[in-house]
């Protein structure tokens, strides 16, 4: 399928029915030409049905394969794009200016291959601190088409996908910029699933990130 839109926005989603509408409201009203793809990663709730209510393309995994596989499904579906945005489905207070901030360095400098959004003053100190000190984990990213074309498959990486992307950029000597994203945050695992279940999900996320950190070279 030919992609005539200069910006492709990929939104991986797993059990985000109560939250994804606030993200899609903003993304769909963004005035620049874009192609929006939601990848429902085996959700057990109404994420797929909620996303279908919007003027976006919705892809679906029958089982949960992880964030990396969801992004790879979106990349494979589109094939080629000048610019890409990877956005989480559980963002709070996403604005058009945040999208602009992620894209601006890519427009201004053709050598920049990736931007990593840095949450700032989002109202959750723990989230802001994690974003500041563990930028390699940040999920809101802009990518130039030339960098996406160079990527190996992301399908194995699950929550370690951001670690993998950062390591690939470092290995290739790709310039990366970190624009601040003011007054934005996201739901924590504990807020979404309750303390006990959310904590277990958090541990699993950390496990996948650590695995990616130490094993990413196996997958290039």
CA 162 to chain centre: 8
> What's the CATH code of the domain at 174?
3.90.550.10
Residue 192 lies in a domain: yes
Placement of tokens 């000190």 in the chain? 133
With respect to residue 1, please indicate whether it lies within any of the assigned structural domains: no
Q: Which domain holds residue 197?
A: 7-219
* Separation CA 73–CA 76 (nearest Å): 5
**In this structure, is residue 2 part of a structural domain?**
no
What pTM does this model have? 0.93
Report how far residue 9's alpha carbon sits from residue 94's, in angstroms, rounded to the nearest whole number: 14
pLDDT score for 129: 54
Per-residue pLDDT of the chain (220 residues; tens, 9 = 90+): 456 689 999 999 999 999 999 999 999 999 999 999 999 999 999 999 999 999 999 999 999 999 999 999 999 999 999 999 999 999 999 999 999 999 999 999 999 999 999 998 655 555 445 555 456 678 999 999 999 999 999 999 999 999 999 999 999 999 999 999 999 999 988 999 898 999 898 899 999 999 999 999 999 9
113 domain-assigned? yes
Tell me if 104 is assigned to some domain. Answer: yes
CB 35 within 8 A of CB 8: yes
For the chain, the domain total comes to 1
pLDDT given at position 128: 47
For residue 197, tell me if it sits in a domain: yes
């Amino acid at each position: 399928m030919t992609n005539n839109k200069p910006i492709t926005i990929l939104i991986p989603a797993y059990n985000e029915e109560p939250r994804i509408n606030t993200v899609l409201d903003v993304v769909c009203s963004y005035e620049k030409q874009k192609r929006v793809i939601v990848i429902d990663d085996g959700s057990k709730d109404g994420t797929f049905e909620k996303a279908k209510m919007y003027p976006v393309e919705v892809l679906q995994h029958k089982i949960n394969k992880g964030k990396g596989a969801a992004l790879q499904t979106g990349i494979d579906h589109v094939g080629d794009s000048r610019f890409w945005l990877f956005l989480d489905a559980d963002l709070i207070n996403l604005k058009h200016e945040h999208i602009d901030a992620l894209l601006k360095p890519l427009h201004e400098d053709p050598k920049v291959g990736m931007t990593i959004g840095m949450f700032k003053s989002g109202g959750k100190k723990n989230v802001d601190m994690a974003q500041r000190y563990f930028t390699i984990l940040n999920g809101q990213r802009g990518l130039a088409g030339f960098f996406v074309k160079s990527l190996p498959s992301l399908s194995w990486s699950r929550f370690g996908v951001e670690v993998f992307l950062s390591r690939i950029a470092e290995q290739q000597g790709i310039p990366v910029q970190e624009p601040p994203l003011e007054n934005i945050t996201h739901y924590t695992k504990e807020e979404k699933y309750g303390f006990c279940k959310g904590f277990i999900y958090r541990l699993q996320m950390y496990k996948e990130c650590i695995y990616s950190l130490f094993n990413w070279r196996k997958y290039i």
